[in-house]
Amino acid sequence: MRIHPTAIIEDGARLGADCIIHAHALITRHSVLGNGVVVHPFAVIGGDPQDLGFKTETESGVVIGDRTVLREHVTVNRATKPGTATTIGADCFLMATSHVAHDGQVGDRVILANQVLLAGHVHVGERAFIGGGAGIHQFCRIGESAMIGGLTRLTRDVPPYTMTAERDELVGLNAIGLRRRGFSATTIAEIRRAFHAVCRTVGNPRELAAAALASGDYPSPETQRFLAFFATGKRGFVRAHAAGDDGES
C-alpha cells in the first residue's frame, strides 16, 4: 500500500491490499476500498450525500471494488439510509471530476469519462461506458454494455447493449461493443431481433418485452437479460426519434 503525503484517511476507513492513495485525496471513515484501488489527488470518497434531509449521524457508506481507479476530483457520496452503501464495482475507471451521488450502484468494468454526473439512486450495469459531460437523472438505470454519448442528458432508462445520445435519444444497438465483449454472432443476431421487436416497434416497451419473453423465441440468457430489463424501473425508456440502423458502422 502507498499513501502519499497530505492524503487524509479518516479513522474507521478500510483499505484493501496494494491501494494507492495520492496526495490531497480524502477517504472518509465511511469508506471501504477493495484491493488495488487507486485514488488520485483531490478525490473525495465517502462524503455526505447532497440531500437536504440527510442526518450526518446516519451510519451509511461507500464501497469501492478491487482495482478501480478514481482520478482527480472524483466524488463518491455515501448512501442516505442506515446500513446501506453507494457501490462502485471492480475494475472501473472514473475519470477526472466525475461524480457518483448517494445510493448509486455502479457495476464492474464501468467507465465514466470526464465530468460525468450520476444523480442519486442511479444504477449502471457492468461494462457500460458513459461519455464526458453526460448528466444522468436520479433513479435512472443504464443497462449492461450500454454506451452513452458525451454531453448526453438522460431522464429515462437505457436498455442493455444499446447506444444513447443527445436528450434521451436511442441511437441503436451497440453491436460493435458486443463483438468486442466476445458475444457470438448467433447471440448478437438474437439480441438484434429482440431490440427491433421492443425498441423499433410501436407500443409500450414493457408489454412488448413481456410478450417477447413469453414467446420463447429468445432463448439465450443475454437476450433474456435484455428483455427482463423492461419489467422493472421507476422511469420510462429512451426511444428512437426515427427509425434507423442497429448501430453498426
- Cβ atoms of residues 118 and 131 within 8 Å: no
Predicted local confidence at residue 249, as pLDDT? 35
| DSSP helix/strand/coil, 148 | strand
- Pick the catalytic residue from 73, 99, 102, 121: 102
Positions of the chain with pLDDT under 70: 242-249
- Cβ atoms of residues 9 and 3 within 8 Å: yes
- Pick the catalytic residue from 36, 40, 99, 103: 103
Q: What is the CATH number of domain 2-175?
A: 2.160.10.10
pTM of the model: 0.96
Query: In angstroms, what CA-CA distances link 176 with 117, 127, 205, 244?
Result: 25, 13, 24, 16
Q: Examine the residue annotation and report whether 120 is marked as an active-site residue of this protein.
A: yes
Q: Examine the residue annotation and report whether 121 is marked as an active-site residue of this protein.
A: no
- Measured in degrees and rounded to the nearest 5, phi and psi for residue 134 equal -70, 140
- Pick the catalytic residue from 34, 104, 120, 143: 120
Residue-wise burial string across 149-168, b where 16 or more C-beta atoms lie within 10 A, e elsewhere: beebebbbbbbbbbbbbeeb
